[in-house]
């Protein structure tokens, strides 16, 4: 537990020192939402209908920027190997990094909600439910995203390679997040929300457990 706390403290310091990167990721997501709104045009009904899908598409694209660079500091001067030599377990390092990525993506996603409301006329009184969906969905992106970010950290084309590996894997969490967010915004007369939330929770539990177990093999190779 102390190793995980130390890893979380390290990640908090890194995030604070690179807070400009978080702002850049958020601005990229906001710009993506703006461009997507141009594709629909001035049809307010269509904009609202597709708002959840565009929100998650913008968040997915933004996530590749933050995840691809998440191991940049550790790979400088072989700092990651130094952490392992100092006795930090791979699993603690993984969960520290994954939790940090989750927090960052959740903040970006929550910050994009006002932009979506303004551009897509997608206001909803169920903001807490939408925030809960964003937290669960970004959890599903962060767990495998952190693992694949470690796998591609030393590749020159990591900005291209990471999406190619990650996007096919996160199709279920993306689909569930879009559907659940759409039900929050447009209403849920058929009571379908519970099924999509259950899918998100199952995906999160499986990948947070499995990726933590596999991370040791990844860093050893």
pLDDT in tens, 61-106: 988 888 877 776 666 656 555 555 555 677 777 888 888 889 889 9
Which whole number is the average pLDDT over 168-177?
Answer: 92
- Give the pLDDT of residue 137: 94
Residues 6+ apart with CB under 8 A from 194: none
Band the pLDDT of 134: cuts 50, 70, 90.
very high
| Least trusted range by pLDDT, from 42-51, 79-88, 139-148 | 79-88
Average predicted confidence (pLDDT) for the chain? 82
pLDDT at 188: 79
Q: Which residues contact 96 (CB under 8 A, 6 or more apart)?
A: 4, 6, 7, 8, 10, 11
Instruction: Please count the other Cβ atoms lying within 10 Å of the Cβ belonging to residue 164.
Output: 11
| This prediction's pTM | 0.86
Q: Which residue has the higher pLDDT, 16 or 145?
A: 145
């Amino acid at each position: 537990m102390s190793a995980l706390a130390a890893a979380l403290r390290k990640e908090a310091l890194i995030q604070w020192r690179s807070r400009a990167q978080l702002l850049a990721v958020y601005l990229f997501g906001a710009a993506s939402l703006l461009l997507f709104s141009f594709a629909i045009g001035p049809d307010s009904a269509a904009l609202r209908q597709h708002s959840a899908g565009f929100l998650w598409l913008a968040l997915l694209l933004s996530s590749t920027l933050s995840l691809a660079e998440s191991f940049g500091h550790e790979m400088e001067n072989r700092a990651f190997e130094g952490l392992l030599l100092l006795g930090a377990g791979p699993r603690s390092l993984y969960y520290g990094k994954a939790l940090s990525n989750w927090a960052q993506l959740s903040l970006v996603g929550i910050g994009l909600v006002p932009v979506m409301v303004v551009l897509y006329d997608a206001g909803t009184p169920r903001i807490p439910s939408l925030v809960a969906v964003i937290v669960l969905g970004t959890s599903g992106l962060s767990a495998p995203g952190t693992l694949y970010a470690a796998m591609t950290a030393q590749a020159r084309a990591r900005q291209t390679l990471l999406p190619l590996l990650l996007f096919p894997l996160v199709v279920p969490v993306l689909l569930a997040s879009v559907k659940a967010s759409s039900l929050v915004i447009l209403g849920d007369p058929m009571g379908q929300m519970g099924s999509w939330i259950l899918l998100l929770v199952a995906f999160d539990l499986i990948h947070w457990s499995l990726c933590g177990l596999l991370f040791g093999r990844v860093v050893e190779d």
